[in-house]
Structure 1
Amino acid sequence: MFNTCDDLDGPFIKYMEGQTGMPTWGVGPLLPEKYWQSSYSLIGDPVIREQEGGSNLREQEVIQWLDTKPRGSVLYVAFGSEVRPSADEHNQLADALEDWSRPFIWVVQHDKDHRPDPGLLKRGGNRGLIIYGWAPQMMILSHESTGGFLSHCGWNSTMEAVGRGVPVLAWPIRGDQYYNAKLVVNYLKVGYRVADDLSEMVKRDDIVKGLERLMGDEEMRDRMVGMKSIFDNATPEAAFDSFSDFVNQKLKPA
């Protein structure tokens, strides 16, 4: 069983069936019931998951900041809680966001080697918002002002971006994130890679170029809206029914 659906991942589910020699089912996307009830409205994170650690900003403060920005104008930058770019790449990202002209939210962890220059926000004024620690990601992605997501492409983040119709600038760090990025960029075509060669250090110019492509591609944004529709209409119940039929058949006396 895979936490995805045939409409998004059909060829890959079939590939795994061929590789394992076992029947496979896409039983996702698996998200809390509250998510589906809020499919076309702003989602408050406490409704669907517990806060993981502290934060310098309350969810309401983030909402108020987003409410002041034009529709689709904000870039959301987050790498999850387990991975992050190198310290040098972190500095390149800070420089890119400072040079860029659009508003952004940047989530950083409590790590002295990965903290932005304190002057970044002062120089950027109200254009940037830095969240230290836990961030209300679902709420940010579901806000109408959010127009792009610079992400490590962890599976949950990838599905949340697709589910909320937000195009992705992929910056995978390790493991399955590279395959998730390939799904987003090459197969679904709802994002770009942050750089062509991720085996080398990602530099400021790469990041700025990627951001401009991401936020300026209206055709890709339309494709992402289509992906969101597929996501919203996914029917994992059919896969569960198929699995149940398979089990019942196997349990029948020979």
Structure 2
Amino acid sequence: MGTLAPPAPDHLKKSAKVVVVMVPFPAQGHLNQLLHLSRLISAAGLPVHYLTTISHSRQAKLRVHGWDPLTVKNVHFHELFIPPFSSPPPNPNNNENFPTHLQPVFNASILLRQPISDILRTLSYQFKRVVIIHDSLMSYVVQDFSSLPNAESYSFHSVSACTLFFFMWERMGKPFGIDPESEFLKGLPSIDGCFSSEFIKFVNSQHEFTTLSAGKIYNTSHVIEKPFIEFLAREEIGKGKKQFALGPFNPIIVQTTKQQNCFSRHKSLIWLDKQGPNSVLYISFGTTTSFSHDQIKEIAKGLEKSEQKFIWVAREADRGDIFKTQEEDSVKMVFPEEFETRVLKAGNGMILRDWAPQLEILRHPATGGFLSHCGWNSCMESISMGVPIVAWPVHSDQPRNAFLVSKILEIGLVVRDWGKRKELVTWDMVKKSVKRLMASKEGDQIRRRAAELGDNLRQSVVAEGGTGKIQFESFFNHITRNNLN
């Protein structure tokens, strides 16, 4: 598999003087992004320590795709203990779309402060410089690094630069103007309904500690978000701190098992091999979304009526600890009568109820679109693979990620307006959205733009002089500065 990272300088090959510590937030989209970044940094020659709870460390390693973390010798996993906590199952009929059932997990994450502080102190004795890359939602947890003379931190933001910029710009009272006629403002969704009140309090509790960081890291690229990256770097918002757009974190050359026999290759990929180019819609709503039974039935009917081929990852939202799900408490998606039977018999689709190799599916030439919740992790994977998106945002950063994808980049379309988020999406709306992307001239044009953007993004991290390559080299040179011999 190819690597996006530059070769390590000679002095670091001989004796590593810098260590990088990853501190992810305990939610799948956050865990995955920093684990991918660990691969890039370790490939460049630096040891990386990945710090999270026992269950979330197992989850990150189990679900990562495109590479195998167990084969990377200089990524070290620390499985930290926190006292047991109660986390209810997801409620698909909850009035709030935000995954409030995970809030106990988020609250429990603050208990990692002491064990992480102990590890940082130990590493500070062993290395000349300790570089902490922490999720912005773990700013409270890593605060004790400031007492170490040879430690510095970088705050990682797991959302698009577009979403982050508008959040900060609005929060700071719009410290500079943007042309009201700009495409950046036309149709910009509000953040109403994006977060629960308890989660907002949690975010605010982290805010004062983000000022301790030496800079910010984004899983994005100038190729796709240059204006927003530049907005974030302005003095009014960036406050003079270093800014690094190091994306995409996910592999752009995906390890594939095509040469292996059919017993070791995922069944979805074997099925895709039999389909025509750009003929299959991949459907996944991430790990924090649970739809009502009525909504599931509408989606199923809309897919059937669209007469388009599809792979649907039909999973309920994660619990706080995915390894403690009790069978008697598990919730299974209920489809219309005989739906699965008809789909299988006709050969028009595949329904997956377990984890799917998303990167390999998106990279497959038969995949022509992605019906997605528009979590940023999924967006970046789809963009880097050149696959257009049918956006169905549900909460958090997703509405504004969908805005970026559909209105700014024009590589997707939105199923429904965010202002109508409480209304049931009917089967006819699903059908029309799917057919717009998969079976229309408009969809062909969107697909071409997505493929071109994906090519440009991949080139940016491998070609000499590419903006992504330059950004990574700049970051690497910065954290290994001052001739640490």
Paired letter, 1:71: P
Paired letter, 1:173: V
User: CA 1:118–1:129 in 2, change beyond 3 Å: closer, same or farther?
Assistant: farther
| Residue matched to 1:213 | 436
Q: What are the Cα deviations for residues 155-199 of structure 1, in whole angstroms up to 9, with x where unaligned?
A: 111111111111100011111111211111011100000113334
Paired letter, 1:224: A
| Residue matched to 1:239 | 471
Paired letter, 2:314: V
| Residue matched to 1:227 | 453
CA distance in structure 2 between the aligned counterparts of 1:203 and 1:225, rounded to whole angstroms: 30
CA distance in structure 1 between the aligned counterparts of 2:477 and 2:365, rounded to whole angstroms: 42
Paired letter, 2:334: R
The reply on whether 1:131 has 2:349 as its aligned counterpart is no
Q: Secondary structure at the match of 2:247?
A: coil
Q: Tell me if structure 2 keeps the 8 A contact 1:162–1:227.
A: yes
Q: Tell me if structure 2 keeps the 8 A contact 1:14–1:24.
A: no
CA distance in structure 2 between the aligned counterparts of 1:74 and 1:4, rounded to whole angstroms: 26
Matches within 5 A, 1:49-60: 59-60=265-266
Q: What are the Cα deviations for residues 190-247 of structure 1, in whole angstroms up to 9, with x where unaligned?
A: 0000113334222111111111111121111110111111111123332244446767
Paired letter, 2:228: F
Q: Tell me if structure 2 keeps the 8 A contact 1:148–1:167.
A: yes
Paired letter, 1:187: I
CA distance in structure 2 between the aligned counterparts of 1:134 and 1:16, rounded to whole angstroms: 35
| Residue matched to 2:271 | 65
Q: What are the Cα deviations for residues 49-88 of structure 1, in whole angstroms up to 9, with x where unaligned?
A: xxxxxxxx97432222112222111111111122233332
| Residue matched to 1:167 | 388
CA distance in structure 2 between the aligned counterparts of 1:20 and 1:201, rounded to whole angstroms: 40
Per mean C-alpha deviation after superposition, the further-off stretch among 85-94 and 57-66 is 57-66
Which of 382, 387, 398 is the equivalent residue of 1:177? 398
Q: What are the Cα deviations for residues 113-133 of structure 1, in whole angstroms up to 9, with x where unaligned?
A: 533235112223211110002
Paired letter, 2:247: G
Looking at secondary structure, tell me which structure has more helix per residue.
Answer: 1
CA distance in structure 2 between the aligned counterparts of 1:151 and 1:12, rounded to whole angstroms: 23
**1:148 Cα shift?**
0.9
Q: Tell me if structure 2 keeps the 8 A contact 1:43–1:142.
A: no
**1:152 Cα shift?**
0.6
Larger radius of gyration, structure 1 or 2?
A: 2
The reply on whether 1:78 has 2:284 as its aligned counterpart is yes
CA distance in structure 1 between the aligned counterparts of 2:271 and 2:478, rounded to whole angstroms: 51
Q: Secondary structure at the match of 1:134?
A: coil
CA distance in structure 2 between the aligned counterparts of 1:152 and 1:207, rounded to whole angstroms: 14
Paired letter, 1:208: K
| Residue matched to 1:194 | 415
CA distance in structure 2 between the aligned counterparts of 1:201 and 1:212, rounded to whole angstroms: 19
User: CA 1:77–1:211 in 2, change beyond 3 Å: closer, same or farther?
Assistant: same
CA distance in structure 2 between the aligned counterparts of 1:172 and 1:44, rounded to whole angstroms: 32
User: CA 1:165–1:61 in 2, change beyond 3 Å: closer, same or farther?
Assistant: same
Q: Tell me if structure 1 keeps the 8 A contact 2:310–2:348.
A: yes
Q: Tell me if structure 2 keeps the 8 A contact 1:167–1:221.
A: yes
Per mean C-alpha deviation after superposition, the further-off stretch among 131-140 and 61-70 is 61-70
User: CA 1:185–1:160 in 2, change beyond 3 Å: closer, same or farther?
Assistant: same
The reply on whether 1:2 has 2:234 as its aligned counterpart is no
Aligned length: 234
User: CA 1:179–1:68 in 2, change beyond 3 Å: closer, same or farther?
Assistant: same
Paired letter, 2:393: P
| Residue matched to 2:116 | none
**1:17 Cα shift?**
2.2
| Residue matched to 2:334 | 115
Paired letter, 1:115: V
| Residue matched to 2:233 | 17
User: CA 1:241–1:205 in 2, change beyond 3 Å: closer, same or farther?
Assistant: same
Q: Tell me if structure 1 keeps the 8 A contact 2:281–2:371.
A: yes
TM-score under structure 2 normalisation? 0.45
TM-score under structure 1 normalisation? 0.82
Q: What are the Cα deviations for residues 135-167 of structure 1, in whole angstroms up to 9, with x where unaligned?
A: 111121111111111001111111111111111
Paired letter, 2:469: E
CA distance in structure 2 between the aligned counterparts of 1:97 and 1:23, rounded to whole angstroms: 46
Q: Structure 2, unaligned stretches of length 5 or more?
A: 1-216, 317-329, 462-467
Q: Tell me if structure 1 keeps the 8 A contact 2:415–2:430.
A: yes
Paired letter, 2:399: Y
CA distance in structure 2 between the aligned counterparts of 1:14 and 1:246, rounded to whole angstroms: 19
**1:112 Cα shift?**
3.1
